Amino acid sequence: MLDVEVDEDVHALMLFEKAIKRDIHKMHAFVRFEKQVGVDGGEEYLAYYRPDHRIVRLAAPFFVERFGGLQWTILGPEETARWDGEQLEFLPGVARGESSGDDDLTELWRSYYAATFNPARLNTKMMRREMPVRFWPLLPETQGIGELVARAPGRETELVAKGGRRGETPLSAKPFLPVERDLSSLAEAARCCQGCPLYAKATQTVFGEGPRDARVVFVGEQPGDQEDLEGKPFVGPAGQVFDELLTEAGIDRARVYVTNTVKHFKWEPRGKRRIHSKPDSREIFACRSWLEAELTAIRPDCLVLLGATAAQAIFGPQFRITRERGQPRRSDWAEWAMATFHPSAVLRAGDAAHALQIRRAMAADLKLVAERLRETSSKETSRG
């Protein structure tokens, strides 16, 4: 009967089992001991933990195995676990007492967390899911989270500029840029770029394409498998979706410039297929010189960023497509700039309804681009 997962009672039991296991895992992860002076004058380690379920007896053996050479006590509101170095016993629960928060272990936790905090991988939503806020009062390292999060954007930029590791030469395409910075010279020079390791696995550099007097530039993430083989941007399945959306918006692709944030295809093998792999911050930083040179040569009136990678390369790492797409703003590279979804999001959608939703959102955003182009054309005509 218990293997009939569609049964409501069995399903509820399975969910309960999962919750218990998750609670045990959280207890193993979030118990923090403070060093105290025991009644006999020796060292004793004390912690307080408030689980969601009655799991103390299930979780305690882990601490015996890991800290068997110490005397410790884990206090809890319903039950307390104590290990005297030889025997594990369970005592009644107690209300939480005030901890000093100034022992060596507490300071060690704070220093360790600050040292391992990676600003380039900051995801506050994921952090709160893995380290729920209700546990924060129990964790000494959480006292510094606010400052670490606030400093993250600046620290990420600093780390990328330094190459991410102490003493490591930063990746950069700058040495490969030509003296002449017109589009044809840039495209020719980019063919020999070895500014980051991605060139080694790519078939060729996929540079931007379009007229040098284009009034709008579209920037994606990176070339895909078909683009890598043909040497042209947006010619694969996502490119077909892109072309359809441009046509619907009344934008002539022959009159726009299309490029990518990263110029080489980053991929991983899966059988005989080459599967797209997202470029990391160092690779994006290394390739930024090409994108900046393209935008400087064209000086577009409109800049459209397709997807999170392109948007964050221009607007900064805190930009979120789902929250800020379709909102025009000024940028260093164009008076009018806007981000929308990448056409590949339509192809990756889990179902037809979601794909249609993304497509409609992109269509609405591209209509804004078309309106902007018409407005600027009217102004130029009236001045003439």
Q: Are residues 187 and 303 in the same domain?
A: yes
What is the percent of the chain with per-residue pLDDT over 90, rounded to a whole number?
51
Q: Give the pLDDT of residue 268.
A: 92
Q: Give the pLDDT of residue 117.
A: 55
Q: Is residue 52 situated within a structural domain?
A: yes
Q: Are residues 214 and 78 in the same domain?
A: no
Higher pLDDT pick, 193 / 110: 193
Q: Is residue 218 situated within a structural domain?
A: yes
Q: How far, in Å, CA of 381 to CA of 2, rounded? A: 75
Q: Is residue 152 situated within a structural domain?
A: yes
Q: Give the pLDDT of residue 71.
A: 86
Q: Give the pLDDT of residue 77.
A: 86
Residues shown for the chain: 384
Q: Are residues 26 and 150 in the same domain?
A: no
Question: What is the pLDDT confidence band of residue 167, given thresholds at 50, 70 and 90?
Answer: very low
Q: Give the pLDDT of residue 38.
A: 60
Question: What is the pLDDT confidence band of residue 56, given thresholds at 50, 70 and 90?
Answer: very high
* CATH number of domain containing 249: 3.40.470.10
Question: What is the pLDDT confidence band of residue 380, given thresholds at 50, 70 and 90?
Answer: low
Q: Are residues 304 and 354 in the same domain?
A: yes
Q: Is the pLDDT of residue 13 over 70?
A: yes
Q: Are residues 190 and 289 in the same domain?
A: yes
Q: Are residues 26 and 70 in the same domain?
A: yes
Q: Average pLDDT for residues 275-279, to the nearest whole number?
A: 92
What's the structural domain count of the chain?
A: 3
Could you write out the three-class secondary structure of the chain? CCCCCCCHHHHHHHHHHHHHHHHHHHHHHHCCCEEEECCCCCEEEEEECCCCCCCHHHHHHHHHHHCCCCCEEEECCCEEEEECCCCEEEEECCCCCCCCCCCHHHHHHHHHHHHHCCHHHCCHHHHHHHCCHHHHHHCHHHHHHHHHHHHHHHHHHHHHHCCCCCCCCCCCCHHHCCCCCCHHHHHHHHCCCCCCHHHHCCCCCCCCECCCCCCEEEEECCCCHHHHHHCCCCCCHHHHHHHHHHHHHCCCHHHCEEEECCCCCCEEEECCEEEECCCCHHHHHHHHHHHHHHHHHHCCCEEEEECHHHHHHHHCCCCCHHHHCCCCECCCCCCEEEEECCCHHHHHCCCHHHHHHHHHHHHHHHHHHHHHHHHHHHHHHHHC
Q: Is residue 195 situated within a structural domain?
A: yes
Q: Mean of the per-residue pLDDT values for the chain?
A: 83
Q: Average pLDDT for residues 153-160, to the nearest whole number?
A: 54
Higher pLDDT pick, 24 / 112: 24
pTM: 0.59
Q: Is residue 314 situated within a structural domain?
A: yes
Q: Average pLDDT for residues 299-321, to the nearest whole number?
A: 94
Of 133, 161, 189, which marks where a domain is finished?
161
Q: Is residue 98 situated within a structural domain?
A: no
Task: Dump pLDDT digits (tens) for 190-229.
Answer: 999 999 999 999 999 999 999 999 999 999 999 999 999 9
Q: Give the pLDDT of residue 49.
A: 85
Q: Which domain holds residue 110?
A: 104-161
Q: Are residues 309 and 341 in the same domain?
A: yes
Q: Average pLDDT for residues 272-281, to the nearest whole number?
A: 91
Question: What is the pLDDT confidence band of residue 234, given thresholds at 50, 70 and 90?
Answer: very high
Q: Are residues 180 and 52 in the same domain?
A: no
Contact 294, 217 (CB under 8 A): yes
Q: Is residue 316 situated within a structural domain?
A: yes
Chain position carrying tokens 């683009």:
227
Q: Give the pLDDT of residue 72.
A: 86
Q: Are residues 334 and 308 in the same domain?
A: yes
Q: Are residues 192 and 336 in the same domain?
A: yes
Q: Are residues 72 and 211 in the same domain?
A: no
Q: Average pLDDT for residues 268-295, to the nearest whole number?
A: 93
Of 60, 92, 124, which marks where a domain is finished?
92
Q: Give the pLDDT of residue 30.
A: 80
Q: Is the pLDDT of residue 107 over 60?
A: no
Q: Average pLDDT for residues 111-124, to the nearest whole number?
A: 53
Question: What is the pLDDT confidence band of residue 123, given thresholds at 50, 70 and 90?
Answer: low
Q: Give the pLDDT of residue 164.
A: 46
Of 129, 161, 193, which marks where a domain is finished?
161
Q: Are residues 110 and 205 in the same domain?
A: no
